[in-house]
Structure 1
Amino acid sequence: MICKFQRTIKKEISIKGIGLHSGEPVTIKLIPAESYDGINFIRDNVLIPARVEYANSFEFSTSLNKDGQTVRTVEHLMAALYFTGIDNIFISIDSEELPILDGSSIMFIERIKDAGIISLKEEKIYAVINDEITVSEGDKFIKGRPYNGFVATYQASYKNRIIGNRKYRYDSTVKDDFLNVAKARTYCFLEEIEFLREKGLAKGGSLDNAVVFKGDTVLNPEGLRFEDEPVKHKVLDLIGDLYLLGMPLIGEIYSFKGGHRLNASFVREMIGSSKFDVKYASEVIDSISDLKAGVSG
């Protein structure tokens, strides 16, 4: 679905929780913005644009930094803003890390809807991929190519029996497909937890906000929300990181074993290339209509 006009929220709202890695309590305020303001975090009076230029750390999450101020684990909220079509918003934060909530994006989406979503007067802007783009790191890679819409596929490669080689393809034109991705929780393996905590990470993690695997067993009493929940969560992370481009994408993205660092590398490669066009929504809608007419004719 192509939204024609830029969006923001109707009113300011607050969201409280704890940071997944810091374990610290945090409150964020979502504040309405004007057209072309973009998505910006505010910490200690420093404005940190939600752009890949400010992404500086990718250790089990994506962090942004500007003028000595850091905001960590932005990807779940960024995915929620993408799914709700929000282009312009200020996010004030009183700690270093965003709240993890239930480990997915769905609670962010619900709170954004509680605040109300309004269309602004100016047209939405899209990045339209016009040629193949590839980044790789060892056997991991992400490819982007032209496509009549937006789809994002993630393929895993785990020895774990539950995750295995599963893949999931998100299609923005399929009604409510976003819920399959937005509800998918972050995950880890029990044997990783001690390592993470030695590195000062996962201090706020629990079975309330993450899926934990012990071998091929899920330790969460309620089990998985989907049989392929981990792969769907990887799609969520991918979409959240891609939104650091500063505008939604039109194209097809395929990630094999990618993570936050490779996601950011893809966005940077895209920005540094001439392989995409910046178009207003009306141009995108017209070009898609022309393509459909050509196919049907």
Structure 2
Amino acid sequence: MTNPGTILMGDGDAIKASCNEMDRLPVDWDLSDKQVEPVRKYQTTLKESATISGPGTFMGKAMRTISFEPTKQEGWWLDRTDLPHTLPIRVGIANVWTTGQIVSNIVLRSGNPHNYVRMVEHIVSLRMGMGIDNMMIKIDSGDPPLFEQGSLDLVEALDQCGKVTTDKPVPYVTVKEPVTVGGTYGDFVTLAPPDDLDNPQLTVDCAINFKTAIGQQRIKFPVCEELTRMASIARTNTSLAKVVYCATIGRIFADVRHLGYNTKNVSIAGKRRYMNEPRLIHEGKALEAAWHRAVLDLLAAIALINNGLFIGKITSYKAGHRLDCELVRQLYLNQVLVPLEELKK
């Protein structure tokens, strides 16, 4: 049974009702028992650099380039090479500017108001699953490239770089008891401490519920490099209604008019069927939307915890970027994050 614990934001009765609703959903793909490597003791950075290019996300006719580079600084950083007099943006909750209006996405900004990068979630989410603690990400605009293979191109670029281990220990953080934030649509996200303090892991129980062909989906898994790699091919999902909107009324907005989305790089769901071929099918059911939500969206918000890697249990139901980021903000506002070692005492 889902235990919401302390409510940091939202209506307690509504959250409990949603917990009960999620508990009634069957688990479509349960990988809870998968054996994964013990948590790392020392921080890593890249061994070499790698560069990758693709059409822009918000400016689809323009080519955008990202370079992954080693760094001696702790954390992940975004460096706008087209703004040479600005400092790199640290990946962290303090630098979240917005989660988008028309197009839902996480936007990071620091210092100069022009020093921002949009749609960062599909990049920074990899901090949680690829075993890379410190990295400089150089990008030639605030509009990252969009790929037909989801984030797999980024994963393969990181593979080219390789990793080196430093002498700095990895700081791990968690919560002492379950904490929850709830939204206004029956959505919630809960963080809880790990079950096994002798072999602590980061685990996810994620469920979605759409009024389209996506329907109800629920997956459970431990966060690890193998599953991150598998899930990275999952694309952003959208509804056929939103596609029609973007092609008509939405064209009055520049962000929509120039979007790089197409039938290959997004999953489109109508009321009763998908408009293009879905991915990540398990036992006859397409779970692309659930894997995208869990690995490339939800974990992107957890990656915004920048004073340590979070270890524990994440439960998410019907949530999105806005609630994800509010969760992380509330963790700091309520000062509930603690070093993992504190629970072992």
User: Fold conserved (TM > 0.5)?
Assistant: yes
Name the counterpart of 2:64.
26
**Structure 1 residue 124 displacement after superposition:** 0.9
Could you state the TM-score of these two structures normalised by the residue count of structure 1?
Answer: 0.87
Task: Determine helix, strand or coil for the equivalent of 2:119.
Answer: coil
Q: Is the 8 A contact 2:174 2:192 kept in 1?
A: no
Task: Return the alpha-carbon distance in structure 2 between the equivalents of residues 18 and 55 of structure 1.
Answer: 24
- Aligned mate of 1:189, from 221, 239, 249: 239
The percentage of counterpart residues that share the same residue type is 23
Gaps of 5+ in 2: 1-37
Gaps of 5+ in 1: 291-297
Q: Is the 8 A contact 2:202 2:312 kept in 1?
A: yes
Task: Return the alpha-carbon distance in structure 1 between the equivalents of residues 168 and 108 of structure 2.
Answer: 27
Name the counterpart of 1:295.
none
Name the counterpart of 1:229.
288
Task: Return the alpha-carbon distance in structure 1 between the equivalents of residues 155 and 279 of structure 2.
Answer: 20
User: Which residues of 2 match residues 77-92 of structure 1 at below 5 A?
Assistant: 77-92=123-138
Question: Is 1:49–2:128 an aligned residue pair?
Answer: no
Task: Determine helix, strand or coil for the equivalent of 2:209.
Answer: coil
- Aligned mate of 2:192, from 145, 158, 161: 145
Name the counterpart of 1:206.
262
- Aligned mate of 1:125, from 171, 174, 193: 171
Counterpart code for 1:262: L
Task: Return the alpha-carbon distance in structure 2 between the equivalents of residues 135 and 204 of structure 1.
Answer: 33
Q: Is the 8 A contact 1:81 1:109 kept in 2?
A: no
Q: Matched residue pairs, number?
A: 280
Name the counterpart of 1:76.
122
Task: Determine helix, strand or coil for the equivalent of 1:20.
Answer: coil
**Structure 1 residue 119 displacement after superposition:** 1.1
**Structure 1 residue 269 displacement after superposition:** 0.9
Counterpart code for 1:217: R
Task: Return the alpha-carbon distance in structure 2 between the equivalents of residues 194 and 32 of structure 1.
Answer: 43
Task: Determine helix, strand or coil for the equivalent of 1:217.
Answer: coil
- Aligned mate of 2:49, from 5, 8, 12: 12
Counterpart code for 1:171: P
**Structure 1 residue 241 displacement after superposition:** 1.7
Task: Determine helix, strand or coil for the equivalent of 1:241.
Answer: helix
Counterpart code for 2:217: R
Q: Is the 8 A contact 2:47 2:164 kept in 1?
A: yes
- Aligned mate of 2:313, from 252, 256, 277: 252
- Alpha-carbon distance change, 195 to 70 in structure 1, aligned in 2, over 3 angstroms: farther
User: Which residues of 2 match residues 94-105 of structure 1 at below 5 A?
Assistant: 94-102=140-148, 104-105=150-151
Task: Return the alpha-carbon distance in structure 1 between the equivalents of residues 77 and 226 of structure 2.
Answer: 27
Name the counterpart of 2:331.
270
Task: Determine helix, strand or coil for the equivalent of 1:109.
Answer: helix
Counterpart code for 1:96: G
**Structure 1 residue 98 displacement after superposition:** 1.4
**Structure 1 residue 178 displacement after superposition:** 2.7
Task: Determine helix, strand or coil for the equivalent of 2:234.
Answer: coil
Q: Is the 8 A contact 1:19 1:98 kept in 2?
A: yes
Name the counterpart of 1:293.
none
**Structure 1 residue 207 displacement after superposition:** 1.9
Which region of structure 1 is more displaced relative to structure 2, 191-200 or 139-148?
A: 191-200
Task: Return the alpha-carbon distance in structure 2 between the equivalents of residues 21 and 83 of structure 1.
Answer: 26
Counterpart code for 1:50: V
Question: Is 1:178–2:228 an aligned residue pair?
Answer: yes
Counterpart code for 2:188: F
**Structure 1 residue 83 displacement after superposition:** 1.5
**Structure 1 residue 137 displacement after superposition:** 1.3
Structure 1 residue runs of 4 or more that deviate by more than 4 Å after TM superposition:
none
Q: Is the 8 A contact 1:189 1:212 kept in 2?
A: yes
Q: Is the 8 A contact 2:211 2:271 kept in 1?
A: no
Cα deviation, 1:105-143, whole Å, max 9, x if unaligned, reads 222111101111111111111112212211111121111
Task: Return the alpha-carbon distance in structure 2 between the equivalents of residues 116 and 27 of structure 1.
Answer: 20
Name the counterpart of 1:63.
107
Name the counterpart of 2:152.
106
Could you say what the CA RMSD is over the residues aligned between the two structures, in angstroms? 2.1
**Structure 1 residue 194 displacement after superposition:** 4.1
**Structure 1 residue 103 displacement after superposition:** 5.2
Could you state the TM-score of these two structures normalised by the residue count of structure 2?
Answer: 0.76
